[in-house]
């Protein structure tokens, strides 16, 4: 797999790791927020933390669309399926996210709700074409990466005069999330996260470019390195951040130049701007209401806007979700707490039975820690160190498949 | 065929006909379905006796019994179908004890309207799989449910086998220091199934690995009688099977990602869908845990068998009170390999 | 977020609307609605069935060189 496997090379990882160890100043602590769930996933999936010196810390950020979607938006879709008998099309990622009253889309599907998992907005359009007598609603979520395909589908629906297709638009904006995060006030008794810099979004930036982050060093004094999602990209970007800090620089750098330019994908941006416009405000799980942080469908396309078509969605912004009070997802999303600091972590909340959104997506900080990193804290709190009985695992044992 | 034509006024219209409620009535239509589809493909002396049971002499040794129900969409997929899968699944469940599989039963739940041509194809495939495995289907049952109350066809198979000699293969026998082997590439079945589901919209040449593994196991137990554990990593994949064994034996495990054989196309499909091959189903693979000193010998026995040619030693059993399965990644880092949570769904994020 | 993967364009279909891409041995038809002037042989970033951006092979090589510290690259966003 060209352009994938080269960026996962163990040998290069060792080289970058050695360079990081040479570069870090031992008296400093480096705290970097990896903004995206894609980075979080790569760090855990490949064990990147093991290759880092002890004074380089990753703080997991809010860049996981499933994690930041407020529960109320899922509650609304459940209401729509139950009351209006629509066909709801959703990316599979949302199926298991906890809604109020211990529900989820998966459970509502099991009780007979017509919820279809789709892999692309094109699949949702197909379902609308095949079911002209039914209302078909696409549950649109995601950051700027996932937004252009929604815009394309709305335009297509209009071109075809597809009358039974609407979109429930929950697309959110990354730069607003960063400012929302940096502006957020900690809860009483909670420390603000220590952040020395950001690993900036990769695929979001393919669409929007690196320019939209330039306010972060300018206004908040935090360096940003746009970082790809492969583990070597994460490591190299970490090195670039360390160098900025050591050298007293504070700027936006781009490690992911193979897919990100300063201006991004103009065609995709124009399509989005044509169909969608900023909302005055939008609620983020963990970050609260942030001005101009999400998109809605322009009035020229209002026929395709589920919020306009269905009366039960019109009070969308006032619905209060019943989240579990003990769930620390909000603090985890702000970078103020670690997953294992939550009382529910592994204690009622696990990927089989997620109580908060961060335990659902494999990009969520809690699920990633549970699935890939839990052994570290587990051993730290017990004396049950594993002992590998056999010694060296020779390369002769390894298959070459 | 002459005798068939005498018993029924006209033969079944296999080409364009459908299952109707009368095929489950127990009357003449049921008898004709049995005669012209089931007996045609599964014929053997015990089945042909036409009783509601089959009697056979018990062989010397310990008897093993297992049952498995098969529901799969789509019914036909590259590398197999629900018929061959129903044979392989139960044969493998028997064989994982070290048993020699002897006989199968087959129960069919058919949905009204199901094409006879599809049923004929499925039962033919079952017959071929059973013959290849050297095992006979000796008793069966057919029920028909109304349209909308089934999903085409469900098949339950149960099987009996016999363990000869003194094998003690069980999921609780893994001991620290043991080696862990896999018989070949992982994830082939799951990816073949996903690729044949239209809505995911990708194509691959990957075929299901569905196969009966008892001859491979016979060769393995002959060479190394003190194999500790055998299990087929079906649903939940290799990751879930290793966790089951670690839990059952009260041990930990350490595996090496680099050593686990995965076909490039399976890797690629998993990249596209956001899945991990460790959790993708297999239907013709086994995990074996054996004493370290026997591992190399076992590996060469496995590699010289058609169903084990890509076998590999993938790690070892550790002492770990927390029963974690840990993996050294291709990248040189460490991670936990957990049980499968929920079900494997394609991701966009 | 945003599971996306680079894949090679094998052919352009439906008068430029779609493309067949290949990753490993896997082929998939994706939409080209978000990109322009894509040619067979190009690598594109695939996300939820769409090509999101074209991959720049020279920059990819520069990044790999930077991992190995083969020569200097400009790491600063232009």
- Residue numbers in C near B331 (CB within 8 A): none
Given a cut of 60, whether residue A3 has pLDDT beyond it is yes
> Mean pLDDT over residues A295-318, rounded?
91
Per residue in A251-261, pLDDT (tens digit) is 999 999 999 99
Task: Write the residue in C27, C47, C48 that is nearest to B202 by C-beta.
Answer: C27
Give Cα separations from B165 to B63, B97, B98, B100, B295 (angstroms): 12, 12, 10, 11, 21
Q: Quick one: pLDDT at residue A381?
A: 63
Q: What is the mean pLDDT of residues A205-224?
A: 97
Chain A residues 172-211 with a CB less than 8 Å from chain B: none
Question: Subunits with at least 3 CB pairs below 8 A relative to chain B?
Answer: A, C
Chains that touch C (3 or more CB pairs under 8 A): A, B
SS in 3 state form for A209-275?
CCHHHCHHHHHHCCCEEECCCCHHHHHHHHHHHHHHHHHCCCCEEECCCCCCCCCCCHHHHHHHHHH
Determine the pLDDT at residue B43.
92
CB contact under 8 A, B206 and C25: yes
Contact A401 B331 (CB under 8 A): no
Residues of chain B contacting A363 with CB distance shorter than 8 Å:
349
Grade residue A278 by pLDDT with cuts at 50, 70 and 90. very high
Q: Which residues of C are less than 8 Å from B195 in CB distance? A: 26
- Minimum distance, in Å, between the CA of residue C16 and any CA atom of chain A: 15
pLDDT given at position B25: 87
C61 contact partners, CB below 8 Å, separation of at least 6: none
The Cβ of residue A28 has, within 10 Å, a number of other Cβ atoms equal to: 12
pLDDT digits (tens, 9 = 90+) for B204-217: 889 999 999 999 99
- pLDDT reported for residue A400: 35
Answer whether B214's CB lies under 8 Å from B133's CB.
yes
At B122, the pLDDT band (50, 70, 90 cuts) reads very high
* A393 pLDDT more than 90: no
Predicted confidence (pLDDT) at residue B34 exceeds the cutoff of 50: yes
Say which of B265, B347, B348 has its CB closest to residue C26.
Answer: B265
Instruction: Kindly state the average pLDDT of the residues B42-57.
Output: 91
CB contact under 8 A, A51 and B335: no
Chain B residues 248-267 with CB within 8 Å of chain A: 252, 254, 256, 258-264, 267
Q: Is B200 on the interface with A (CB under 8 A)?
A: yes
Question: What subunits touch chain A, counting only 3 or more CB pairs under 8 A?
Answer: B, C
Contacts with C, B 163-202, CB within 8 Å: 195, 201-202
Query: Is the CB of B322 less than 8 angstroms away from the CB of A379?
Result: yes
Chain B interface includes A388 (CB < 8 A): yes
Higher-scoring residue by pLDDT: A98, B301: B301
From edge to edge, which strands make up the β-sheet containing B62-70?
B62-70, B153-163, B100-111, B136-145
Q: Is the pLDDT of residue A134 over 90?
A: yes
Mean pLDDT of all residues in B146-172? 95
Q: What is the mean pLDDT of residues B251-263?
A: 97
Nearest CA in chain C to A6: C64
Quote the minimal CA–CA distance from B330 to chain A in Å: 6
Higher pLDDT, A355 or A6: A6
Residue % of chain B over a pLDDT of 70: 98
Confidence of residue A329 (pLDDT cuts 50, 70, 90): confident
Residue among A275, A293, A279 nearest A167 (CA): A275
More confident residue, B132 or B9: B132
Would the CB atoms of A259 and C45 count as touching at under 8 Å? yes
- pTM of the entire predicted model: 0.89
Cα(B75)–Cα(B77) distance, rounded to whole angstroms?
7
User: Alpha-carbon distance B122 to A320, whole Å?
Assistant: 53
pLDDT tens digits, B75-118? 999 999 999 999 999 999 999 999 999 999 999 999 999 999 99
Q: Which residues of C touch A4 (CB under 8 A)?
A: 5-6
Q: Which residues of chain C, if any, have pLDDT below 50?
A: 1, 71-78
Residue C12, min C-alpha distance to chain A (Å): 18
Average pLDDT of every residue of chain B: 93
Pairing mode, if any, of strands A197-200 and A224-226? parallel
CB contact under 8 A, C1 and A143: yes
> What whole-number distance in Å separates Cα of residue B252 and Cα of residue B275?
24
Distance from CA of C48 to the nearest CA of B (A): 6
Taking an 8 Å cut-off on Cβ atoms, the answer to whether C3 and B201 are in contact is: no
| Residues A143, A160: Cα–Cα separation, whole Å | 26
Cα A388 from Cα A37, distance rounded (Å): 32
Given a contact cutoff of 8 angstroms between Cβ atoms, the answer to whether A380 and A356 are in contact is no
Q: Taking 60 as the threshold, does the pLDDT of residue A397 lie above it?
A: no
Tens-place pLDDT, residues A151-200: 999 999 999 999 999 999 999 999 999 998 898 877 777 777 889 999 99
pLDDT tens digits, A22-80: 999 999 999 999 999 999 989 988 989 889 999 999 998 888 888 889 899 999 999 99
Q: What is the pLDDT of residue A260?
A: 98
Tell whether A123 lies on the interface with B, counting CB pairs under 8 A.
yes
Q: Which residues 184-243 of A have a C-beta within 8 angstroms of C?
A: 201-204, 206-207, 210, 226, 228, 232-233, 236, 240
Q: What is the pLDDT of residue A399?
A: 36
Handedness of CA A102, A105, A278, A309 (dihedral sign): negative
Q: Please state the rounded mean pLDDT for residues B25-36.
A: 91
Instruction: State the pLDDT at residue A261.
Output: 97
The pLDDT of residue A382:
56
Residues of chain A neighbouring B322 (CB-CB closer than 8 A)? 375, 378-379, 382, 384, 386
ipTM: 0.90
Q: Which of B133-137, B201-205, B251-255 has the lowest mean pLDDT?
A: B201-205
Predicted confidence band at A331 (pLDDT cuts at 50, 70, 90)?
A: confident
Q: Using the predicted structure, report yes or no on whether residue A391 has a pLDDT greater than 70.
A: no
Q: Give A258's contacts in chain C (Cβ within 8 Å).
A: 55-57, 59-60, 63
How does strand B62-70 pair with strand B76-77?
A: unpaired
Question: Does C25 contact B265 at a Cβ distance shorter than 8 Å?
Answer: yes
Q: Give pLDDT, residue B333.
A: 84
Mapping DSSP to helix (H, G, I), strand (E, B) and coil, where does residue B182 land?
A: strand
Give the pLDDT band of residue B6 (cuts 50, 70, 90): low
């Amino acid at each position: 797999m060209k352009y994938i496997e080269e960026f996962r090379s163990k040998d290069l990882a060792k080289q970058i790791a050695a360079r990081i160890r040479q570069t870090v100043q031992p008296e400093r602590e480096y705290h970097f927020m990896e903004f995206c769930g894609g980075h979080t996933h790569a760090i855990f999936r490949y064990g990147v933390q093991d290759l880092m010196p002890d004074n380089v810390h990753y703080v997991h950020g809010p860049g996981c669309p499933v994690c930041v979607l407020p529960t109320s938006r899922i509650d609304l879709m459940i209401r729509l399926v139950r009351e209006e008998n629509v066909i709801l099309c959703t990316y599979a990622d949302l199926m298991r996210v906890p809604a109020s009253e211990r529900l989820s889309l998966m459970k509502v599907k099991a009780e007979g709700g017509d919820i279809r998992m789709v892999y692309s907005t094109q699949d949702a359009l197909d379902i609308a074409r095949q079911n002209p007598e039914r209302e078909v609603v696409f549950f649109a979520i995601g950051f700027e990466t996932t937004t252009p395909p929604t815009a394309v589908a709305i335009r297509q629906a209009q071109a075809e005069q597809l009358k039974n297709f609407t979109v429930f638009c929950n697309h959110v904006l990354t730069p607003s999330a960063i400012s929302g995060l940096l502006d957020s006030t900690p809860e009483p008794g909670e420390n603000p996260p220590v952040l020395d810099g950001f690993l900036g979004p990769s695929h979001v930036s393919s669409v929007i470019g690196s320019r939209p982050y330039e306010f972060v060093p300018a206004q908040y004094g935090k360096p940003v390195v746009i970082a790809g999602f492969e583990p070597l990209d994460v490591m190299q970007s970490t090195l670039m951040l360390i160098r900025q800090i050591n050298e007293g620089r504070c700027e936006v750098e781009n490690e992911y130049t193979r897919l990100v330019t300063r201006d991004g994908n103009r065609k995709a941006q124009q399509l989005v701007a044509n169909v969608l416009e900023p909302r005055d405000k939008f609620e983020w799980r963990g970050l609260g209401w942030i001005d101009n942080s999400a998109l809605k469908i322009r009035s020229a396309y209002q026929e395709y806007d589920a919020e306009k078509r269905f009366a039960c969605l019109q009070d969308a912004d006032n619905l209060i979700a019943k989240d579990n009070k003990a769930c620390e997802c909000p603090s985890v999303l702000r970078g103020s707490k670690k997953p294992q600091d939550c009382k529910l972590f592994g204690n009622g909340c696990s990927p089989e039975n997620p109580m908060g959104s961060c335990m659902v997506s494999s990009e969520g900080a809690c699920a990633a820690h549970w699935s890939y990193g839990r052994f570290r804290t587990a051993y730290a709190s017990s004396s049950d160190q594993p002992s590998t009985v056999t010694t060296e695992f020779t390369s002769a044992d390894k298959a070459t498949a | 065929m002459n005798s068939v034509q005498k018993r029924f006024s006209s033969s079944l219209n296999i080409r364009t006909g459908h299952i109707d409620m009368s095929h489950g009535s127990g009357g003449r239509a049921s008898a004709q379905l049995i005669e012209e589809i089931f007996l045609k493909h599964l014929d053997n002396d015990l089945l042909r006796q036409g009783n509601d049971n089959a009697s056979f002499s018990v062989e010397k040794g310990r008897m093993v019994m297992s049952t498995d129900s098969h529901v799969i969409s789509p019914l036909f997929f590259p590398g197999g179908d629900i018929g061959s899968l129903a044979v392989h699944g139960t044969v493998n469940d028997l064989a994982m004890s070290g048993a020699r599989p002897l006989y199968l039963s087959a129960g069919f739940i058919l949905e009204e309207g199901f094409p006879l041509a599809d049923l004929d194809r499925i039962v033919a495939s079952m017959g071929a799989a059973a013959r290849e495995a050297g095992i006979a289907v000796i008793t069966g049952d057919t029920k028909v449910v109304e349209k909308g109350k089934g999903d085409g066809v469900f098949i339950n198979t149960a099987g009996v086998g016999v363990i000869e000699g003194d094998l003690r293969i069980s999921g609780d026998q893994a001991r620290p220091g043991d080696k862990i082997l896999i018989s070949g590439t992982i994830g082939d079945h799951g990816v073949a199934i996903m690729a044949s589901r239209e809505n995911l919209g990708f194509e691959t040449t990957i075929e299901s690995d569905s196969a009966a593994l008892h001859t491979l196991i016979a060769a393995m137990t002959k060479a190394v009688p003190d194999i500790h554990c055998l299990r087929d990593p079906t649903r939940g994949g290799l990751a879930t099977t290793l966790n089951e064994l670690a839990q059952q034996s009260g041990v930990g495990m350490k595996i090496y990602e680099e050593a686990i054989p995965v076909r490039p196309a399976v890797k690629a499909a998993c990249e596209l869908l956001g899945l991990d091959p460790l959790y993708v189903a297999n239907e013709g693979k086994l995990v074996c845990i054996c004493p370290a000193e026997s591992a190399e010998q076992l590996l060469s026995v496995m590699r010289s068998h058609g169903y084990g040619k890509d076998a590999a030693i993938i790690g070892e059993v550790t002492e770990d009170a927390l029963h974690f399965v840990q993996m050294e990644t291709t990248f040189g880092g460490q991670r936990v390999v957990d049980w499968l949570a929920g079900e494997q769904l394609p991701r966009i994020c | 977020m945003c599971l996306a993967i680079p894949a090679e364009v094998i052919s352009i279909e439906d008068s430029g609307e779609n493309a067949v891409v290949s990753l490993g041995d896997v082929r998939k038809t994706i939409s080209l609605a978000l990109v322009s002037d894509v040619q067979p042989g190009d690598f594109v970033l695939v996300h939820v069935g769409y090509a999101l951006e074209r991959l720049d092979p020279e920059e990819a090589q520069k990044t790999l060189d930077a991992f190995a510290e083969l020569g200097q690259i400009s790491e600063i966003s232009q």
